[in-house]
Chains A and B, each alone.
Chain A
Amino acid sequence: MSKNIENAIYNEKLPSGLPWAGVIKKGQTFRIVDLEGCQAVDTLFYNNDNYNDRYSANDTIREQGSIFITTGTKLISIDDNVLMEITQDSCGNHDTLGGHCSAESNSVRFGLDKKYMHSCRDNYLTIVAKLEMSPKDITNNINFFMNVPVRSDGHLAIVDGISKPGDYVEMVAHMDTLVLISNCPQLNNPCNGYNPTAIQLIIWDK
């Protein structure tokens, strides 16, 4: 079946700053659209039959030999399973190193007075509590559409995004995969252009 918006089984807008959870069943395709460009989409993945078997940033980047997520990347779990595979990517260079923002890391990065701003970690803690998962299920995430170049001397910075309005990334589930998203509310750095915006989430059946 060709993928048209009309035959998607799920097609919803996620406003900025909010969390989202959904299960992508084996064979289904999941698309994340950066509607206005330069948004950071913090995303975690779990084997839906066993949340202990979760996305591992280290295994994923080591096995592909590159720090960036793009077409062809297999998202590998801590138990060495392939959860999903990136099949289309109009943007490239999705980040695996920066993790997610939190009240506590904001206080260190931007000043002790920045502690009480909304954060991705708050979103993740909310959603893992609602799903009766554990805070220990939260690990290093992918930041779709976030630009974190690394120089040969190791220097690393979250810099202006490179995604344009409408850029998207698409992935196919190799196994039933729980996806947790925090549509990043960070206001202190250019990860989302100092202006967090909505994304579109679309699922197609196989």
Chain B
Amino acid sequence: MIRSNKVVLNEIFPSSVKWSKIIKRGQTIQLKAKGENASLSAMFYNASNVTERFNSADTVKIQWNAFLGKEKVLFSEMGRVFFAITEDSTDGLFDILGGISNERVIKENFGGTATYESCRNGYYKSDYENFLIELGKYGMTKKDLIPALNLFRKVDVKDGSKLVLSDRKAKKEDFIELTAHMDVLLVLSNTPHAMDKSGVYEPSDIEITIFDAVEFKDEDYKNYSDEAKRGFINTNRYFV
């Protein structure tokens, strides 16, 4: 097994809010759906130089596929590996196409009635708001909003070009594990996917578990692509 079994952090990440933490090189973060409507958006950065950030275009171009899943890696814009997707019980519920929700999208998809005044902490937050707030805590700004990785939902490409949010959702207890190959500042927003037209704003809680750091072993990554392996070499060189 690629990761340790030793848990260093375990908590519930509630519906509609945001979360952030530095995941250290060698640690694995497990994200587990606690309901049937899980949907996260993620932005992530080199914790020691946030100018180096996740690059969704490089990630799909380098790996020859717009879709992601187990044994794919998530590249920084410096040709290094932030995370390897080391487990995925959802069978590929990842999305780099749909982007994040903003206030207009939330109003269009879920109506404009759920304000703080009417709903207190249950008000309908957008990813845009969540990310700006959480990034601000690290001195980061709108310039740090990057094309996001969405987890637990997938956008299909029909007829070669049309974008359609797949009906397929994660089941309760489905999980995704991301193993950090650098110290990664991970910022998450737990809101409905920006293309979710169901009208029901109730993203599931997510259980977050972080497992202790391990040394990387080549045999654990033997099934990864040559491109991913070159990414690991670039990453290892960074830590010399």
Contact = CB atoms under 8 A, between A and B. Distances in A.
A67 B61 contact: no
Interface residues of B, number: 46
Given A99-B55, A112-B230, A154 B65 contact: yes
B35 to A, nearest CB: 25
A156 B65 contact: yes
A139 B67 contact: no
Contacts of B160: 149-151
A106 B66 CA distance: 18
B64 A155 contact: yes
Contacts of A107: 79, 230, 234
Interface string B156-185: 111011111000000000000000000000
B58 interface: yes
Nearest to B92: A154
Interface stretch (A12-20, A54-62, A173-181, A198-206): A54-62
A62 B77 contact: no
B79 A62 contact: no
Given A104-B77, A107-B230, A140-B56, A98 B61 contact: yes
B222 interface: no
Contacts of B231: 108
A121 B77 CA distance: 10
Contact of A102 (B60, B77, B98): B77
Nearest to B58: A105
A152 to B, nearest CB: 7
Contacts of A98: 57, 61
B234 A67 contact: no
B19 to A, nearest CB: 21
Interface stretch (A22-30, A130-138, A164-172): A130-138
B188 to A, nearest CB: 17
A154 B62 CA distance: 13
B163 A65 contact: yes
B161 A139 contact: no
Contact of B80 (A59, A103, A104, A139): A104
Contacts of B146: 139
Interface stretch (B82-90, B136-144, B204-212): B136-144
Contacts of B144: 136
Nearest to B56: A140
Nearest to A109: B62
Identify which of A67, A112, A121 gathers the most chain B CB atoms within 10 Å of its CB. Answer: A67
Contact of B97 (A52, A58, A78, A153): A58
Nearest to A135: B51
B213 interface: no
Contacts of B100: 58
A158 interface: yes
Contact of B143 (A59, A99, A134): A134
Contacts of A62: 97-99, 163, 194-195
B161 A156 contact: no
B148 interface: yes
Contacts of A56: 99, 147
Given A102-B77, A107-B234, A154-B67, 11 more contacts: A56-B147, A66-B163, A93-B161, A102-B78, A104-B78, A105-B55, A107-B230, A112-B234, A140-B56, A152-B157, A155-B66
20 contacts: A57-B147, A58-B97, A65-B162, A67-B97, A80-B104, A93-B161, A97-B61, A99-B56, A105-B61, A109-B62, A109-B227, A134-B143, A150-B161, A151-B160, A152-B158, A153-B65, A154-B65, A154-B66, A154-B67, A155-B65
Interface of A: 52-53, 56-59, 61-62, 65-68, 78, 80, 93, 97-100, 102-109, 111-112, 121, 134-137, 139-140, 149-158
